[in-house]
């Protein structure tokens, strides 16, 4: 019984995702009220009717009280979590007890992150975002919603089964020799050849990486490229997994199994449910992606001039073999336009805030800033080439020349909407045009695919197995010999967004070092429980947590180090409200904020942040466990152990 809905303030459905149980519940509830012979109402209409009272209530509370509820539960134990971003209301629902408020809130923020990566600065204008999320063309809307639904399902699956998405950090394949060879190959053979080709249509490959399932084999960035932040990289991995889901003998979690399991559940229903099963199958039947057509994505870029979020890139996801994928990220030829748009959006946002905080002569004092913006914007308009974009900017200029007809605050808001419209036309509308494709040619993509396949041909089987057994307790003799009683650990370098942890792949066919069956599943459940518990304590300002749970002893530590590895003094961490953005790196980079908070007292120093989670047998004395944790943290990040981490 799960659902996620995005709606406008007028209760218009902008996006929805439901599991089969929730869909059946809605269809039965609203189908029973239909007269005989009239058939079932469209599911979109039903779900709009279901949530309309909640949406109207939220809007009324905001208008009258300036606030709204963040969550509530019903008599049948359904949990509702709500969050409004501008004029879009996100509602996440759970009725089967598998998710709590924190899980639903995290799902909302992850969904928002994915929409930002797909639509960029268009998300800063609610008017334009509503048009993007709900296209007038029915087929286009269905295609978009299927893509978003697939991304959400892929994320949910990864978070339930993959430690890296539970922790929200990137996991590398630990094979130093092969990783170094692949990085050198990406730099000297692949990227150089692509960027020197005349078939790249003005695009420049800035990042290239190879994924084995969700693990990173090799990553290369060109010299002038910005660092790819962890939240963007994790989102790209989700997108790659959604396009080419992992399905191996080691873990039966591919899309075919998902479809079969859902249809098996649906087939036990009545005639009403048979109609639902057909609808559900249509929803799951996503057309296979065309590798030659890139996905437009918007990622954070930082350079000497500053930080620019949501800059346009093209993502090429090229399958090498099932489970192994090459991903190329290219910088589009007119990306400078996006930077200019962001600078103007920032300027108008600051001007609007200043106007809202002043009275009386605010407009007069703000006039020089307006004239300055007008001059810069005029130069920006003249620099644009396509006539249709110039016509759009003519509207902007007309608004500016007739500013006396408007108050300045609505004028600023209107200008931001117009700028987002320019951004939309340059990087979303034009990217969908097939008349003049501006991306790497299919032949060039095929050559890149072939080059990497030839490089990894002798390694592919090893890599697929290695991805499931990346690190084991027995593969590190110093762990097995020096840390008796240690069952599991997770160590994370939050400065680089990378983690180290023994593999936890437990299926009916295969077992891990924890064994097979209920015991192994129990330990895995404890790991997930420990992570969720430590996040709640971290939210309350605790950087150290030790817990005894039956036969197990849990430890969690967060600490800071200098660039040279010297441990820095502990400080009081900020306490966050219960309904704050979930702690992590995917939906919101909490740890980057935390490093900035700590760096206030260490000006000029590079501050690094680390986390360590351990599970020991409860019979081990607590002082020995704490000694283990100190030694384990120092040994795991030694250069000799993992030279690429």
Is pLDDT of 267 > 50?
no
Is pLDDT of 611 > 70?
yes
The end-to-end CA distance of the chain, in Å, is 41
Please give the order of strands across the beta sheet that includes 324-331: 215-221, 204-212, 324-331, 306-321, 295-303
Question: What pLDDT, on the 0 to 100 scale, is given for residue 63?
Answer: 85
Question: What pLDDT, on the 0 to 100 scale, is given for residue 247?
Answer: 65
Is pLDDT of 205 > 50?
yes
- Sequence-distant (6+) residues with CB within 8 A of 154 are 238, 241, 242, 245
- Compute the average pLDDT of residues 69-73: 91
Cβ atoms within 10 Å, residue 26: 19
- 425 contacts 392 by C-beta, under 8 angstroms: yes
For 460, half-sphere exposure in the C-beta direction (CA atoms, 13 angstrom radius) is 15
The token pair at 228 is 């790819």
Could you tell me the pLDDT band of residue 600, with boundaries at 50, 70 and 90? confident
Strands 306-321 and 295-303, by their bridges, are: antiparallel
Is pLDDT of 158 > 80?
yes
Condensed to tens digits (0 to 9), the pLDDT of residues 499-543 reads 999 888 655 555 555 556 677 788 889 999 999 999 999 999 999
Question: What pLDDT, on the 0 to 100 scale, is given for residue 68?
Answer: 84
Residue 52's φ and ψ, nearest 5 degrees, are -55, -45
- Compute the average pLDDT of residues 533-561: 93
Is pLDDT of 259 > 50?
no
- Compute the average pLDDT of residues 55-84: 90
Question: What pLDDT, on the 0 to 100 scale, is given for residue 589?
Answer: 86
Q: Return the higher-pLDDT residue of 278 and 348.
A: 348
Is pLDDT of 256 > 50?
no
- Compute the average pLDDT of residues 256-266: 38
User: What is the distance between the alpha carbons of residues 609 and 189, in angstroms, rounded to a whole number?
Assistant: 35
Cβ atoms within 10 Å, residue 618: 15
Whether this model's pTM surpasses 0.85: yes
- Compute the average pLDDT of residues 484-488: 88
């Amino acid at each position: 019984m799960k659902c996620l809905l995005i709606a406008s303030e007028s209760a218009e459905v902008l996006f929805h995702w439901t599991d089969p149980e929730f869909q059946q519940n809605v269809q039965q509830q609203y189908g029973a009220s239909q007269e005989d012979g009239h058939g079932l109402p469209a599911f979109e209409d039903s779900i709009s009717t279901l949530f309309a009272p909640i949406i109207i209530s939220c809007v009324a509370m905001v208008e009258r009280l300036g606030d709204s509820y963040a969550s509530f539960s019903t008599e049948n134990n359904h949990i509702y979590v709500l969050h409004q971003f501008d004029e879009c209301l996100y509602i996440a629902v759970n009725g089967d007890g598998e998710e709590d408020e924190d899980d639903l809130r995290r799902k909302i923020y992850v969904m928002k992150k994915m929409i930002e990566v797909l639509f960029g600065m268009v998300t800063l204008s609610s008017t334009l975002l509503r048009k993007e999320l709900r296209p007038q063309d029915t087929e286009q809307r269905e295609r978009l919603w299927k893509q978003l639904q697939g991304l959400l399902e892929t994320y949910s699956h990864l978070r339930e089964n993959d430690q890296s998405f539970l922790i929200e950090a990137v996991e590398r394949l630990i094979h130093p020799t092969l990783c170094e060879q692949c990085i050198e190959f990406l730099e000297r053979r692949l990227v150089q050849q692509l960027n020197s080709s005349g078939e790249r249509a003005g695009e420049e490959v800035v990042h290239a990486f190879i994924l084995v399932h969700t693990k990173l084999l090799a990553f290369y960035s060109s010299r002038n490229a910005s660092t790819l932040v962890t939240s963007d990289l994790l989102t790209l991995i989700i997108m790659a997994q959604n396009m080419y889901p992992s399905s191996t003998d080691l873990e039966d979690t591919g899309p075919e199994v998902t479809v079969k399991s859902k249809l098996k559940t649906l087939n036990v229903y009545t005639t009403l449910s048979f109609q639902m099963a057909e609808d559900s199958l249509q929803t799951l039947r996503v057309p296979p992606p065309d590798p030659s057509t890139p996905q437009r994505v918007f990622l954070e870029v930082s350079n000497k001039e500053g930080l620019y979020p949501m800059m346009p890139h093209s993502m090429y996801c090229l399958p090498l073999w099932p489970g192994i994928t090459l991903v190329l990220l290219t910088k589009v030829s007119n990306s400078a336009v996006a930077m200019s748009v962001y600078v103007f959006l920032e300027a108008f946002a600051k001007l609007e805030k200043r106007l809202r905080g002043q009275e009386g002569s605010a407009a007069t004092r703000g006039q020089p800033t307006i004239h300055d913006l007008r001059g810069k914007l005029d130069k920006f308009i003249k620099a644009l080439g396509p006539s249709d974009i110039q016509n759009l900017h003519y509207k902007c200029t007309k608004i500016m020349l007739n500013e006396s007809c408007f108050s300045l605050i609505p004028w600023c808001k209107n200008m931001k909407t117009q700028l987002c419209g320019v951004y939309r036309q340059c990087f979303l509308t034009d990217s969908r045009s097939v008349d003049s494709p501006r991306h790497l040619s299919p032949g060039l993509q095929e050559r890149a695919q072939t080059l990497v396949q030839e490089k990894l041909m002798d390694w592919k089987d090893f890599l697929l197995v290695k991805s499931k057994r990346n690190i084991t307790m027995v593969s590190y003799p110093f762990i097995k010999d020096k840390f008796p009683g240690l069952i599991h650990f997770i160590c994370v370098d939050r400065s680089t967004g990378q983690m180290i942890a023994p593999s936890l792949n437990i299926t009916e066919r295969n077992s891990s070092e924890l064994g097979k069956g209920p015991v192994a599943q129990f330990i895995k459940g404890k790991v997930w429980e420990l992570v969720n518990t430590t996040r709640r304590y971290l939210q309350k300002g605790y950087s150290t947590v030790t817990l005894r749970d039956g036969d197990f002893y849990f430890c969690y530590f967060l600490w800071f180090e200098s660039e040279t590895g010297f441990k820095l003094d502990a400080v009081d961490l900020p306490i966050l409200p219960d309904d704050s953005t979930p702690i992590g790196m995917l939906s919101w980079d909490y740890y980057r904020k935390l490093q900035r908070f700590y760096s206030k007292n260490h000006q000029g120093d590079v501050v690094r942040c680390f986390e360590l989670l351990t599970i020991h047998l409860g019979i081990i004395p607590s002082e020995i466990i704490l000694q283990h944790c100190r030694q384990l943290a120092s040994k795991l990040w030694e250069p000799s152990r993992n030279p690429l981490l």
